[in-house]
């Protein structure tokens, strides 16, 4: 039997972006071990709950992103040692925490200077970028989603779905609107939910407003046909330097909003 150990960067958005690639690999190998962290495990397990040959392999949460490559390499060794019946690929589908490494990878794979990070990560994974969409599948639990809608007491009043918060920072972005604003992070109980529980809420929204975060990547998988606004608040290379990051053949209609927004870094954000 053949197996492979893979991993993504630490964010939930990275899990979503790489979903299609990992599901594709599950068609090529008898077992795919996806290395993730304790604070990301429940989302990863949900994402592949209907994919029996993808096994989420959990390592302790990180105190710093620089720990990720070492822990992923350790996970590979552990998996190889504990599964002698598998022929497991050498460790190379690894995590890179420094954007300088992303640039080196882009050059190694002969990608354009303005390429977007998902293309870099797919090249590193050894999977054609087109598989991002053709094999992408986000599970739905409509009972959980319905209970969340009931908890929000949504009426027929129009509302916008708004996220001005990333895992590490909260930005002072304000949206001028007369509509009700639903920001999941405004509700103390949102940490008891999965990001995927909010899909019905996002589908019911009249507009989507978000910074570069997992909510943005989830919204793109849904191909929502409403006004969608992306706020360029997080200055991350290999993102909106290329229009493809926002709008491509799979999902489009996003408007880029630029501005000078201050942010407040959250303590202990790397453990969330």
SS (H, E, C) 117-155: HHHHHHHHHCCCCCHHHHCCCCCCCHHHHHHHHHHHCCC
- pLDDT tens-digit profile of 130-188? 999 999 999 999 999 999 999 999 888 899 999 998 766 788 888 989 999 999 999 99
Q: What percent of the chain stands above pLDDT 70?
A: 91
pLDDT of residue 171: 85
Per residue of the chain (272 residues), give pLDDT as tens: 999 999 888 789 999 999 999 999 999 999 999 999 998 999 999 999 999 999 999 999 888 777 888 888 999 999 999 999 999 998 876 666 667 777 888 888 899 888 888 998 899 899 999 999 999 999 999 999 999 999 999 888 899 999 998 766 788 888 989 999 999 999 999 989 999 999 999 999 999 999 878 999 999 999 999 999 999 877 666 676 788 999 999 999 999 998 888 776 654 433 34
pLDDT of residue 95: 66
Domains present along the chain, CATH in parentheses: 2-134 (3.40.50), 142-271 (3.40.50)
pLDDT of residue 61: 86
Per DSSP, what are the bridge partners of residue 208? 161, 228
Place of tokens 């706020």: 231
Residue 93 φ/ψ, nearest 5 degrees: -85, 70
Residue 136 CA to residue 118 CA, distance in Å, equals 13
| CA-wise closest residue to 92 among 62, 72, 114 | 72
What residues contact 171, with CB distance under 8 A and at least 6 apart? 164, 165, 211, 231, 233, 261, 262, 263
pLDDT of residue 268: 42
pLDDT of residue 269: 36
| Tokens at 50, concatenated | 């209907």
pTM, two decimal places: 0.92
Q: What is the pairing mode between strands 169-171 and 263-265?
A: antiparallel
- Say if residues 219 and 228 touch (Cβ distance below 8 Å): yes
- pLDDT tens-digit profile of 248-257? 999 999 999 9
| Tokens at 92, concatenated | 């190379």
């Amino acid at each position: 039997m053949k197996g492979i150990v893979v991993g993504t960067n630490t964010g939930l958005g990275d899990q979503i972006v790489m979903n299609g690639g990992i599901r594709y690999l599950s068609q090529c190998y008898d077992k795919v071990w996806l290395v993730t962290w304790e604070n990301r495990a429940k989302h990863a397990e949900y994402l592949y709950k209907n994919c029996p040959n993808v096994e989420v392999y959990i390592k302790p949460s990180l105190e710093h992103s620089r720990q990720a490559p070492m822990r992923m390499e350790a996970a590979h060794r552990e998996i190889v040692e504990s599964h002698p019946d598998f022929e497991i690929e050498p460790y190379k589908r690894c995590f890179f925490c420094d954007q300088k490494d992303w640039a080196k990878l882009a050059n190694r794979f002969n990608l354009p200077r303005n390429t977007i990070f998902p293309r870099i990560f797919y090249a590193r994974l050894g999977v054609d970028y087109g598989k991002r969409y053709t094999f992408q599948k986000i599970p739905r639990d409509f009972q959980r989603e319905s209970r969340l809608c009931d908890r929000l007491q949504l009426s027929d009043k129009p509302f916008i779905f708004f996220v001005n918060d990333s895992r590490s920072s909260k930005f002072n972005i304000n949206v001028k609107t007369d509509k009700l604003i639903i920001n999941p992070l405004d509700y103390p109980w949102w940490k008891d939910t999965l990001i995927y529980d909010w899909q019905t809420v996002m589908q019911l929204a009249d507009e989507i407003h978000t910074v570069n975060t997992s909510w943005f990547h989830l919204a793109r998988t849904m191909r929502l046909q409403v006004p969608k606004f992306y706020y360029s608040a997080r200055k991350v290379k290999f993102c909106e330097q290329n229009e493809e990051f926002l709008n491509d053949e799979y999902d489009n209609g996003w408007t880029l909003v630029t501005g000078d927004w201050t942010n407040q870094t959250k303590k202990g954000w790397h453990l969330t």
